């Protein structure tokens, strides 16, 4: 009986490993399908070319990209900041 109790958790861990592998493979396949669909959509839409041809369009596109990069930096800084650490005096 003791041997059965020892072996039971090992079987559960083996099943958990298989589920993780299947989930990871499914996620990778889903990402490949999504990237393919978006790439096809971008290739067919061709909307950035007319926007970038005009002077105002280039400025708007540059501002959009700059704001996007700044927002990503703010989010990254907020996630990295450790609120539990004591503050250092300046």
Banded model confidence at residue 69, pLDDT cuts 50, 70, 90: very high
Output the average pLDDT for the chain: 76
Domain ranges of the chain: 1-45, 47-81
Identify the pLDDT of residue 70.
93
- Give one DSSP letter per residue of 12-80, joined into a string: HHHHHHHHHHHHHHHHHHHHHHHHHHHHHHHHHH--HHHHHHSHHHHHHHHHHHHHHHHHHHHHHHHHH
- pLDDT, tens digit (0-9, with 9 covering 90-100), for 22-42: 888 999 999 999 989 888 887
Banded model confidence at residue 77, pLDDT cuts 50, 70, 90: confident
């Amino acid at each position: 009986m003791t041997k059965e109790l020892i072996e039971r958790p090992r079987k559960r861990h083996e099943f958990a490993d298989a589920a993780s592998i299947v989930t990871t493979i499914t996620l990778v396949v889903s990402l490949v399908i999504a990237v393919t669909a978006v790439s096809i959509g971008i290739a067919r839409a061709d909307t950035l070319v007319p926007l970038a041809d005009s002077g105002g369009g280039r400025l708007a596109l540059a501002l959009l990209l700059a704001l996007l990069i700044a927002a990503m930096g703010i989010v990254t800084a907020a996630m990295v900041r450790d609120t539990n650490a004591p503050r250092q005096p300046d």
